[in-house]
Structure 1
């Protein structure tokens, strides 16, 4: 997860549950739980002596802690680390600052699929906090946001695609509107609608950079997301935004291109 105005999913969080009693129950319950084998000192100020009462005292923000293991998802997911304007159901607790965080939706020491709180998912989960008017203002009616985190086990023809590109292709590869259709050919080239832009996806950036003409990966990743080191749809596009598909950097004067290409 990320701040709303800065950068879409993720899937799992690293920080403490907002409700101490739930934390204690999940840590002492039976079965394998998320982070069970991790050192408490990695997140909690209380370290091994963490208790339900002071479990909310963390070494950093939940976004920073979760991002250590889920960097891509933190950037491509529902906004996090902010105080919501509207009222949030008690089922989805805010942290001690009143902020919506990773643990608002995820039981980070749980063992349920996706560590989700409750049984709601997708569109039903969205309507727990948002009304239809919120989505009606968006160009796609909110369809792009109602998938949760932009990740999933979807398939496209190119086997090397990352999970974010696979999710994007679920809609853009079979969209009724030809202006939005994008095809990925057998050479892993994304061919946008109208043939306006063609660009490789699923390519290992580091290997490509070895041929020369590219900026160092560490420099690129300050702005460009490379999930698993691969060039992805979300390298250039911001998925989880009201302006869905917005470019991470303007194309004016080819600025976006020069984020990676050093020519």
Structure 2
């Protein structure tokens, strides 16, 4: 009897912790009040649902601040018809809800049944990806750059971890990089060595670095840290290209105040 009571108590504790975890994360979009997004609030109907409090990019960005900078473009007219399962909005634009249905509870809130590369090929031709440096692997494996593991022994941001899925010396694709002690990233061609994973605010405190407000908007500091996407384009057709051409060390001088 004592053992049964103990198991029941443990089950109750686990259920309580699960409920707390869900509450701490906040409600999923499909469980949120309609008035968070829809002009009509709780009186929303199929006829007025398209009338939102702002663009989808702004509304979704309230919770997913970096998603639009590290993912498929949103808020543009594709200039051609898309499959019916991936709807454009009332003005013909591709938006967040072209790929995601916030009113379902499927993983990733994704529309349709296709996943991975097949999901992308529903709208894009194979040639679109084959023209890319990595054959489109960086785009088709994940619609948004996100971390999947951390095995490098020091702090790295999620986008950098996603890059290293292909580009580390432990991976099997892409130009390899490795690390020197202390988090110094070394490119395979020995062209540039650079610290990575360092909070930029700490660098500023040492002196010789420009304030964040003065940096080009092309330079991203995921989680406030220096990462791969601080210098390289991630989720774009020009995958791996520098965010700013480094002629005359221009990219370097964006951060270094020398």
Q: Of 195, 204, 210, which residue of structure 2 is paired with 1:215? A: 210
Whether 2:122 is the aligned partner of 1:166: answer: no
Q: Match of 2:199?
A: 204
* Contact 1:152/1:167 (<8 A) preserved: yes
Whether 2:249 is the aligned partner of 1:248: answer: no
Distance (Å, rounded) in 2 between the aligned partners of 1:67 and 1:192: 33
Shift of 1:40: 4.7
* Contact 1:78/1:240 (<8 A) preserved: yes
Shift of 1:112: 2.2
Whether 2:97 is the aligned partner of 1:103: answer: yes
| Structure (1/2) with the larger helix percentage | 2
Distance (Å, rounded) in 1 between the aligned partners of 2:130 and 2:202: 43
Whether 2:118 is the aligned partner of 1:124: answer: yes
Q: Match of 1:85?
A: 79
Gap regions ≥5 residues in structure 1: 1-31
* Contact 1:158/1:184 (<8 A) preserved: no
**Structure 1 length normalisation: TM-score?**
0.79
1:184–1:54 CA distance, 2 compared to 1 (3 A): farther
**Structure 2 length normalisation: TM-score?**
0.80
Distance (Å, rounded) in 2 between the aligned partners of 1:117 and 1:92: 7
Gap regions ≥5 residues in structure 2: 1-25
Distance (Å, rounded) in 1 between the aligned partners of 2:150 and 2:27: 28
1:41–1:260 CA distance, 2 compared to 1 (3 A): farther
Q: Which has the larger radius of gyration?
A: 2
1:103–1:137 CA distance, 2 compared to 1 (3 A): same
Shift of 1:114: 1.6
* Contact 1:162/1:230 (<8 A) preserved: yes
Q: Match of 1:182?
A: 177
* Contact 1:76/1:239 (<8 A) preserved: yes
Count matched residues.
Answer: 231
Distance (Å, rounded) in 2 between the aligned partners of 1:49 and 1:257: 53
Higher relative contact order (CA 8 A, sep 6+): 1
1:134–1:230 CA distance, 2 compared to 1 (3 A): same
